[in-house]
Structure 1
């Protein structure tokens, strides 16, 4: 199932490919507590922020901006994974089996990968469109561009879903154990994960990341030539997106690739495997935290998002006090209330 590292101990021996038996005196039960705490925080913060963001983007959709199309789908991708976190927390806190364990484990795993790689593709697509607009290749008010953005978002969902279905078909024989919902139990499972990792690594991360870096490099060059202080928000957006990639996605993919490689081909080095196993917890938690970092992008990139958010918060505060919330339509219907957040409106 989902890559999370294999726990090995003197009492619980892990069988690795091409070997009879490897015993590693490492039994990390604290990782389940760490996962539960981090996932609980991500669920609480991510559910509120992404739900509010999705509501705001639905209100802004009538403006037909390209950024709204990509960011709305990004919020949906985050929410899909966030809604699976309660089950993950439950699975970490119990070692008893229940009827729907196998199905729930698989669905939660598939949704994790779908959410992560859709987020990567949406961020890369947004970067490409922002560069095209900044370079004057397309007009930001072009309704055709907005339709292309919607079509691209739909294509991303189909493409990622197809990849997840392929992964699901290959991993259908994975054995699931109580207390190890997201960890492969069979030796062949690790070898299969190793080869499937390269498909996800290259197609799902490396290519979009390289495209994003190229677009941002060209954007920075263009910003340097304009010498306009208003471009600072574009620079802030670039720094924030790269921070998300470097903190949430890059460490996870590097660690996953190295760990699977050593598990399959250097399984006799128990000390190294234990070290890599410990790094799984950190990189996976950072990858999950992406759902909480994406809302920061909405503030910098989403045109009209910030004033709508302020109105929504004001409405909620007054609603709790007197039961008469303010309508958020004023933020979008009245042009005077709209504060320009991004200098390039897409």
Structure 2
């Protein structure tokens, strides 16, 4: 078996990272800003997971806003903005990922509960979802702290960041325990919950229950939950398969050079797919939420612009009258 110290990574993946983040930046920014605008006006009209969608859009937007710095680094190969900002952007990447996973699970569970127990959850206070969201942010932010803490301080000297940050030496039992706990809490449990919600929703389509919503409502719920599951499978499953392997490569637990190169390439692809969720989530809102499509329709946008213009004209007229009254 070859020693990892003699291995050299012949594949430069930085241009691929830069291209991926450039591709994500504009649609991710526009899509999530539009999502927040739509959901702001949507909040008073529904209780169906809109709070969780708002938080999902905030999580995505926080990552999108850090992408210009990532693109600059992967194009130039050097970090000139200080180690503090580097670690913050590095940390936000994982906060976004696990916040997205958390809120995808919350959306799936909320839709299933509303579908299965419509009378019990039709009067559910929105404040409950707010508390659940706050608790989720706290847990995710604390749970993601090991990611920056496990990175070595050596990168400060060489102006390195992101994928080039070296990993601290960790013994095999500790590394295995951390990976197992992280995969169980951050990946396997959410995957099980989303699959369970999908399965229960599919079963509900075959049942005839007077107390349940109509067939159309069930199909809408199924479409949303299955779309959440699809986003989860595409964006996060490959990453959570590659992440433990890449961690063991970086900590020199895997020493075969060919295996290292294959794992590094697979991890790069998985990392790009995980980042893709920032511009995929607005597509989820559009195709699974009738209100989202309605508010983005041409007529609705025209009405919104006219209403805004009318409001501005009215304010201007009032201001003019006040000025005239003052002059008199």
Q: 1:289 aligns with which of 265, 276, 300?
A: 276
Residue 218 (structure 1) aligns with: 200
Q: 1:50 aligns with which of 12, 16, 32?
A: 32
> Retained in 2: the 8 A contact 1:49–1:295?
yes
Does residue 216 of structure 2 align to residue 234 of structure 1? no
Q: Which sections of structure 2, spanning at least 5 residues, go unmatched?
A: 209-213, 310-328
Q: What SS does the corresponding residue of 1:224 show, helix, strand or coil?
A: coil
Deviation string for 1:41-91 (max 9, x for gaps)?
A: 111110000000001111112235242111011100000111000000011
Residue 135 (structure 1) aligns with: 116
Q: What SS does the corresponding residue of 2:44 show, helix, strand or coil?
A: helix
Deviation string for 1:83-103 (max 9, x for gaps)?
A: 0000000111113452x3311
Residue 150 (structure 1) aligns with: 130
In structure 2, the CA distance between the partners of 1:328 and 1:209, relative to structure 1 (3 Å rule), is: farther
Which structure has greater helix proportion? 2
**What value does the CA root-mean-square deviation take over the aligned residues?**
3.0
Residue 11 (structure 2) aligns with: 28
In structure 2, the CA distance between the partners of 1:169 and 1:51, relative to structure 1 (3 Å rule), is: same
Residue 140 (structure 2) aligns with: 160
Partners of 2:88 and 2:176 lie apart in 1 by: 20
Q: Which sections of structure 1, spanning at least 5 residues, go unmatched?
A: 1-18, 319-323, 330-346
Q: 1:305 aligns with which of 282, 292, 295?
A: 292
Instruction: List structure 1 runs of 4+ shifted beyond 6 angstroms.
Output: 189-194
TM-score under structure 1 normalisation? Answer: 0.77
Partners of 1:122 and 1:179 lie apart in 2 by: 32
In structure 2, the CA distance between the partners of 1:26 and 1:311, relative to structure 1 (3 Å rule), is: same
Deviation string for 1:197-229 (max 9, x for gaps)?
A: 433322122112211211221111112224935
Partners of 1:170 and 1:26 lie apart in 2 by: 22
What is the aligned length? Answer: 301
> Retained in 2: the 8 A contact 1:67–1:301?
no
Alignment of 1:30-179 (within 5 A): 31-63=13-45, 65-98=47-80, 100-136=81-117, 138-144=119-125, 146-171=126-151, 173=153, 175-176=155-156, 177-179=158-160
> Retained in 2: the 8 A contact 1:233–1:300?
no
TM-score under structure 2 normalisation? Answer: 0.81
In structure 2, the CA distance between the partners of 1:115 and 1:314, relative to structure 1 (3 Å rule), is: same
> Retained in 2: the 8 A contact 1:73–1:153?
yes
Deviation string for 1:269-328 (max 9, x for gaps)?
A: 11111111111221111100011111122124445222112158744xx9xxxxx93338
1:182: how far off?
3.1
